[in-house]
Amino acid sequence: MIDVLDAAAHLSGIDAVAALDEYPWLGAAIDADVVARRFAEWGASTVIDENIDAAVISREVFDSLHDRAGLSAQWPVGNAGVLHVYGYLLSKVETPYGLKRARWMNGSLAAAYGLPTDAFVPWASSRTLLERASESARSLLSRAECIRRTSGATLALDRSSRSGDWALVYVVDGLLVTTFPVASVEQILADWDADPERLRWNAVR
């Protein structure tokens, strides 16, 4: 599976438009998301990762993804659904937490949601990855075991069992920003309670 993503990421570095056309779980999926207006559920995010202070995808990939989604965006700020879902699939940039694509591929986030481990593998379903991620995040928001709200932002955490990773969902002004797995919630909740504005997970308001 990783070989497929590596090939797509490599092609996107040469010709981002060609990469979107080559892989149906990229271009065709984005087309379906546009028709269903799914990007409207997601807020704004910067492509500059706060942990490494660098872009996780190139300007060309950023522009090509937003063009395909029919969205105007001014580098480095774009649609969080575009960036955190499809952009992360094409990212080859290492962060302190590994590759951004890992959340969709390694099964830990899916397991935290109580789903099969391949639930977020892009080509494992006829439904787009954005559709699956959005649905899962919205469902978690309605049942979250831990939830914090302040200044229009919402942090929600839940997990499917008493052990294993938690699924984190972050929302700003009612719009999804990100979801990813966390091993423990104690430090995140402590940091949030101390200074919620510091924990933005690349959101832009």
Residue 78: other Cβ atoms inside 10 A: 26
Q: Which string of b and e fits 41-52 if b means at least 16 CB within 10 Å? A: bbbbbbbebeee
Mean of the per-residue pLDDT values for the chain?
95
Rounded distance between C-alpha atoms, residue 65 and residue 81, angstroms: 10
Quote the pLDDT of residue 59.
98
Quick one: what percent of the chain has pLDDT higher than 90?
A: 91
The verdict on pTM exceeding 0.85 is: yes
Token pair belonging to 139: 């469902």
What is the rounded average pLDDT of the residues 190-194? Answer: 92
Quote the pLDDT of residue 198.
85
Q: CB of 141 within 8 A of CB of 169?
A: yes
Crossing angle of helices 59-69/2-14, nearest 10°?
A: 100
- 1 pLDDT band, cuts 50/70/90, is low
- What are the pLDDT digits (tens) for 70-85? 999 999 999 999 999 9
Q: CB of 78 within 8 A of CB of 66?
A: yes
Phi-psi region of 72 (alpha: psi -120 to 50; beta: other; left: phi over 0): beta
